[in-house]
């Protein structure tokens, strides 16, 4: 899907003897009909990409102003993005705004995997998982969660982990 978007809207640049694609401006997607995005194999994501692009293109959302805000304000602003909920805000705060301490939401499939990894149980409460990270990694909860998460998926490349395969179904 992303490759289709880069081919359609990205600009090709050469770097280090490689051809790469740049990202597009939000206005490029905002003016395209949703069906054109669906034709790029985005499926249901086309609606979200178009609506969010419109929010940025119109100035309703200003990423550069949001980047200057404290974490709690960033959360409020991010929730204004079309289709964004608590779990998505969690990812944005960590991956895009670099808040390594913010761990408040654990989606169900991540809960199942962390339950097995941390407690060797099929399912424990998200409160128990959150408490584990708060006590063991204060100030770095999300970063620690991320490291553990990445580690199990790196292991998956060289080991067969039966219970994990059943959970992720990729």
- DSSP label at residue 138: T
The full set of domain ranges for the chain reads 2-95, 108-168
In the predicted model, what is the mean pLDDT of residues 3-31?
95
pLDDT for 119-155, tens place per residue? 999 999 999 999 999 999 999 999 999 999 999 989 9
Q: What percent of the chain has pLDDT over 90?
A: 90
Q: Is residue 14 classed as helix, strand or coil in its secondary structure?
A: strand
CB 118 within 8 A of CB 83: no
CB 67 within 8 A of CB 77: no
Architecture per CATH, domain 2-95, reads as Orthogonal Bundle (1.10)
Q: Can you point out the beta strands (E) in 3-117?
A: 12-15, 18-21
pTM of the prediction? 0.79
């Amino acid at each position: 899907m992303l490759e289709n978007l880069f081919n359609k809207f990205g600009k090709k640049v050469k770097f280090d003897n490689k051809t790469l694609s740049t990202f597009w401006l939000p206005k490029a997607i905002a003016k395209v009909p949703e069906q054109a995005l669906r034709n790029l194999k985005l499926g249901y994501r086309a609606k979200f990409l178009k609506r969010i692009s419109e929010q940025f293109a119109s100035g309703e959302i200003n990423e550069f102003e949001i980047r200057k805000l404290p974490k709690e304000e960033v959360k409020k602003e991010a929730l204004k993005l079309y289709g964004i909920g608590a779990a998505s805000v969690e990812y944005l705060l960590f991956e895009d705004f670099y808040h390594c301490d913010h761990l408040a939401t654990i989606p169900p499939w991540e809960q199942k995997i962390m339950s097995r990894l941390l407690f060797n149980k099929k399912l424990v409460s998200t409160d128990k998982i959150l408490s584990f990270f708060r006590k063991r990694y204060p100030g770095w909860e999300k970063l620690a969660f991320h490291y553990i998460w990445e580690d199990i998926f790196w292991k998956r490349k060289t080991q067969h982990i039966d219970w994990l395969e059943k959970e992720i179904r990729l």
